[in-house]
Chains A and B, each alone.
Chain A
Amino acid sequence: MSILHTVNKSPTDRNTLESCLKLTVKGASVLLIEDGVYGAVSGAVSSQMVQDAMGNVSVYVLGPDLKARGVDESRLIDGVKVVDYDGFVDLATDNDTVSAWV
């Protein structure tokens, strides 16, 4: 069973991204939304943790929330995929369940 995990807080604000990545299993998807998008930026405090997790899980980031914060896609960790809201809906349907790390 595949799970889509959503994380909506910055890794410098809460530890939800870390908790999420620790508990995801191979084949899961993680979507960073709202302030969670900061977790997708390279050179940040959480970048190594995200990069290590990407061997097992797919990491996505919500494009409109990146744009709202002035974060250019060139600053993202290699391999992080940018999706829009349609992509969010597709991820929710493609996985068997959705788990929000709030």
Chain B
Amino acid sequence: MKFGIQVNEGPYTHEASVTAINFVKSAVAKGHEVFRVFFYHDGVNNGTRYAKPPQDDINIQKTWSELAKEHNIDLVICVAAAQRRGLADEGEQERNGLDGNNIMDGFRISGLGQLIEAGIECDRLVVFGD
């Protein structure tokens, strides 16, 4: 079965990011496909590469990046939510005249159309967050 995932909550806030990660791990282990994870609202902070959590804590951003690489999962950050919260890739850096970018490897910034597409393409869309 094809899964789409939506994450609305920031990392290290309550638990939604980790719940979503565990769900994705279980789904792919059971042979399902995770087509896309769409990060919305504070969820966009799952995609910054500047997070440095303590060594005994889970590195949520890195875990997403590794999962995406291993299982070919499309990690999409909502552009409007990202602009509000200071998340930028090279394109956003250039477009907005920023002095740098901070997106984690494996993530990309795009629009809500990607969420709609995930809703259409996937058998199930599962939402995590506040």
B-binding residues in A (CB < 8 A): 6, 8, 33-35, 64-65, 84-86, 88-90, 92-93, 97-98, 100, 102
Docked pose: A65 CA to B18 CA in angstroms: 11
- A89 adjacent to B26 (CB under 8 Å): yes
Would B127 and A100 count as touching, CB distance under 8 A? yes
By a CB distance below 8 angstroms, the chain A residues around B16 are 8, 34
Q: State which residues 1-41 of B face A: CB under 8 Å.
A: 1, 3, 8, 14-16, 19, 22-23, 25-27, 29-30, 32
Contacts of A86 in B (CB 8 A): 26, 29-30
Query: B19 contacts A92, CB within 8 Å?
Result: no
Chain A hits for B1, CB < 8 A: 93
Taking Cβ atoms with an 8 Å cutoff, the residues of B that contact A are 1, 3, 8, 14-16, 19, 22-23, 25-27, 29-30, 32, 123-130
CB-CB under 8 A from A8, the residues of chain B are 14-16, 19, 128
User: B126: which A residues are within 8 A, CB to CB?
Assistant: 6, 92, 98, 100
Q: Which residues of A contact B22 (CB under 8 A)?
A: 64, 85
Chain B residue at minimal CB-CB distance from A84: B26
Q: Separation in Å of the B13 CB from the closest CB of chain A?
A: 11
Where chain B touches its partner, the secondary structure class is mixed
Closest 10 CB pairs of A and B: A100-B127, A85-B26, A34-B15, A89-B26, A98-B126, A89-B27, A85-B22, A93-B1, A86-B26, A102-B129
Q: How far is the CB of B81 from chain A (nearest CB, A)?
A: 16
Q: Do B26 and A93 have beta carbons less than 8 Å apart?
A: no
Contact between A89 and B127, CB atoms less than 8 A apart? no
Chain A minimum-CB-distance residue to B3: A92
Query: B56: shortest Cβ distance to chain A, in Å?
Result: 16
20 contacts between A and B (CB under 8 A): A6-B126, A8-B14, A8-B19, A34-B14, A85-B23, A85-B25, A86-B30, A88-B26, A89-B27, A90-B30, A92-B3, A92-B126, A93-B32, A97-B124, A98-B124, A98-B125, A100-B128, A100-B129, A102-B127, A102-B130
